[in-house]
Amino acid sequence: MAITPVLTDGVVTLRAHVDADVEDLLLTGSDAESARWTTVPVPYGRHHAEHWVHEEVPAGWRDGTAFRWAIEAVEAGRPRFAGNLDIRTGPPPDLGFAAAPWARGRGLVTRAARLATRWAFDTCGLPIVHWSSIAGHLASWRVAHACGFTFHGERPLSVAHRGVLHDGWYASLRPGDEQSPRTTWWPVPVLDGERVRLRAHTEADLPRIAEACSDERSRHWLAGLPHPYTVQTAREFVRSRRLGESLGQSVTWAVAARDDDRLLANVGVFGLDDALNPTGGEIGYWAHPDARGRGIVGEAVDLAVAHAFTPVPDGGLGRHRLQIGAAWSNTASRHVAERAGFTLAARYRLDGVIGHGESRRLDDGAWYERLVDDPAAVTTRRG
């Protein structure tokens, strides 16, 4: 097939590349985000853009190895190049795309991907289209997620990029799949308290996360923590939290000081995808050593609980029941649960491991619960 078919949904159009696209291709290929996540040459010059338009794109259509389109959308009242999209026929077939800087965050690539994958299934008879990226590329995963791709997991050091192996994310779409999200992508809203602000994690939080999770007390109560716990471990933790939100599993916040935005603790609601209890969830938390004993975690848990019990139409998680589990001997964690209005529901014998090394042992579990209609948290707190 040598002629590029024109596909449109009335908002975006997939069409053949033309000479007028070269300037925007140059801007897109020279952008730092393009260099970070895609395989564009670095540095990216005009000759690369011209070669793409005149050589690579036509060759893919001629030999049937890659169906490549320019994405076009209206900007400032006129049609403009908004990015590239290609379906490489493989085997196995896979989807690739890159948005022009001006077009990002507008849902244009998602519309384009829906058009292209539907055409690939209906016209070319492709049995599947795969998607992959360097792990952590949330913008790319957001497109695939919105198009109904099923996430298959993360594989270590499986993506080669500029001579370096990276962990990779993988997903796929089949002809009969609905082109809509398969899981709820929970947002991470900013929640403000008197002394703390709950927000998404930032790069600046990573050293503080590593300090907190390397602390002897943290390691005692959270026996599953990796050791040594490095800044890279913290980065992987944050990446996994963002992925969990996209898969409808959890919402996790950095607990930051209102005055200087310093990370003080971590709080999350997880178990949101339990098919047997679809509006239940569990609260988890830990504190940086310099935030303990100040009521910081208690305030953060109150904010997280309130958000979890808020109905979905009002921006919350729509939970009807929450639980908190702690080692029976972890009095500090249990005080947080009790002062957040949770009731001790059960003591499970030898429920989990605490400690490490020679101090590693099983401890009973204290399990607390709270329903959406239960009384609110008490006002007197301990951290």
Q: The pTM is what?
A: 0.93
Q: What is the pLDDT of residue 376?
A: 72
- Say how far residue 10 (Cα) sits from the centre of its chain: 30
Rounded distance between C-alpha atoms, residue 65 and residue 93, angstroms? 9
Whole-number average pLDDT of the chain = 96
Helix axes 231-246, 138-146, angle to 10 degrees: 20
Q: Residue 229: which of 215, 217, 246, 239 has the closest Cα?
A: 215
Question: Mean per-residue pLDDT for 323-330?
Answer: 98
pLDDT above 90 covers what percent of the chain? 97
107: three-class secondary structure by DSSP? coil
Q: Write out pLDDT tens, residues 162-181.
A: 999 999 999 999 999 999 99
pLDDT at residue number 380: 39
**Which residues, in sequence order, are bridge partners of residue 96?**
86
Residue owning tokens 């779409």: 173
| pLDDT computed for residue 175 by the predictor | 98
Q: Is the pLDDT of residue 378 over 70?
A: no
Express each pLDDT in 168-224 by its tens digit.
999 999 999 999 999 999 999 999 999 999 999 999 999 999 999 999 999 999 999
Assess whether pLDDT exceeds 50 at residue 33: yes
Instruction: Domains for the chain: give ranges and CATH numbers.
Output: 7-173 (3.40.630.30), 191-371 (3.40.630.30)
Mean per-residue pLDDT, 226-242: 97
Distances (CA, A) of 134 to 47, 72, 248, 326: 27, 26, 21, 35
Determine the Cα–Cα distance for residues 81 and 297; give it in Å rounded to an integer.
48
d(CA 147, CA 85): 14
Q: Closest Cα to residue 144, out of 175, 112, 100? A: 112
Supply the DSSP symbol for 290. G
> What is the per-residue pLDDT for 377?
57
Tens of pLDDT, residues 350-370: 999 999 999 999 999 999 999
d(CA 159, CA 116): 24
Query: Residues 240, 247: contact at Cβ < 8 Å?
Result: no
Q: Both tokens of residue 64?
A: 């049937």
Structure tokens at 162: 């500029």
> In 3-state terms, what secondary structure has residue 63?
helix
Return the SS3 of 70: strand
Q: Tell me the chain's radius of gyration from C-alpha atoms.
A: 24
